[in-house]
A = this chain, B = another copy of it.
C-alpha cells in the first residue's frame, strides 16, 4: 500500500499556508506533530527532485512546530535537555541538538535556536516535545515558562533560493551563514529567518510569527519566484536519502540511542556539562553499540519510496542484519538506495546483503557510507 485517503479534521492541524497549498493542487500529505505536511503536488517525485536541484521551491513546513523556553533559567534548562555542549552557544545561531530520556534514548532531534540567554526555540521533528519539556519543568524547580508560540516555518529551498530571498528581504540576507539566523522585515514586522532547511541544496527557513500573515508571505514569495521557476514542493525523499538526512520516526525512534544514529559528534561524553541521560549515554559509549545507521545501495527495479521497512539480510548466510527505513530509487546514482540500521559484523563498507523490497522481490545490495557518493 502506497497511500490512501487522509480524512481531515480539526485535530489534524492546518498551517497558515494550507490554503495556498490547496490552491496549488496538493495531492498528498503526511501528518507531523498533529499538523499537515504536504508531500506532493501532482508532479512525480523525480520531477520534483530535479527541479529542487536546479531551481527553487517553497515548502509548507509549518509542522516543524516550535517549543519556546523562556525565563531566567532558560539557558541552564536547555542544557539539561540535550547532550550537546551548549556552553559556548551564541545568540543568533541554530544547533542540531538531540533530546534524550534518562535511559539515553532519542525523544526528538530538533534544531535549537538561541534567541537570547533567556529565550530558546526547539524546532521539532515528529513527537510532542512540548509535553516532555512541560513534564520536566514541573519537577525541575527552574524558572522557565514553556509554550508553543504562534510560529510556523516556511522553507525556501534550492540553488536559486538566495537570489529570490534577496529580492524580498534585501541584500543583507546574503551575509547569513549556514545555521545562523537574523531578523528581517516583512509587512512591517520583524521575522526570524535562518539559513537552513531539510535539503542539501541550500536555502532558508522563515519562522513566520503570526498565522494570519501566511497567505501574504506565500503569495509574495510566489510572485517574486516566478522568474526563478518556483514550484510548491516538500522535503524530497530522494534528495534527503542521498544526502543522508535522518528522519525521526523513520531512521530513529525512542528505541534508539544517539550513538546508533551516528549523532556522537552532537554529544558531550565528559562531565563538562550536565544533562538528562548523561550516565546512560556515557555507558553506551563505554560498551559500544551493536547496530548503526548505514547506507545500502541495491540493484533491481527502480523502487518507489518505502511505505514500511524493507528487511535486509546477509547475502552469505541469509540471517537478518537490519532494515531499510527510508528507501527509493536514486536517478542521480542510478541505483536503489536506502538508510538502514545495520547490525555489528555487517556494517562494514561493501558487505554484501539482500534486500526484500516492497514489490516482494529480493535484490542484491551492499553496505556503504552516508551521505551517498558516486562509486
Contacts and interface: CB of A to CB of B under 8 A. Distances in A.
Interface of A: 1-12, 14, 22, 26-31, 34, 39-40, 101-102, 107, 126-141, 148, 247-250, 254, 276, 305-309, 325-326
B139 A5 contact: no
6 contacts: A3-B7, A6-B6, A6-B28, A7-B29, A133-B135, A135-B137
B4 A6 contact: yes
Nearest to A276: B138
A236 to B, nearest CB: 12
Sorted nearest first, the 9 A-B pairs with minimum C-beta distance are: A139-B139, A135-B135, A11-B249, A8-B307, A128-B128, A6-B6, A5-B28, A131-B132, A3-B5
A30 B4 contact: no
A3 B22 CA distance: 11
Contacts of A128: 127-128, 131-132
A48 to B, nearest CB: 13
Contact of A4 (B1, B5, B34, B309): B5
A15 to B, nearest CB: 12
A90 to B, nearest CB: 28
A128 B325 CA distance: 22
Given A6-B3, A6-B30, A249-B10, A131 B107 contact: yes
Given A1-B22, A131-B107, A139-B136, A10 B126 contact: no
A325 B5 contact: no
Given A128-B131, A131-B135, A30 B7 contact: yes
Contacts of A29: 4-7
B127 A131 contact: yes
A250 B139 contact: no
**Residue among A1, A129, A325 with max Cβ neighbours from chain B (10 Å):** A1
Given A2-B8, A8-B307, A9-B307, 8 more contacts: A3-B7, A6-B6, A7-B305, A34-B127, A107-B131, A129-B131, A130-B254, A135-B136
B134 A134 contact: no
Contact of A250 (B9, B22, B133, B141): B9
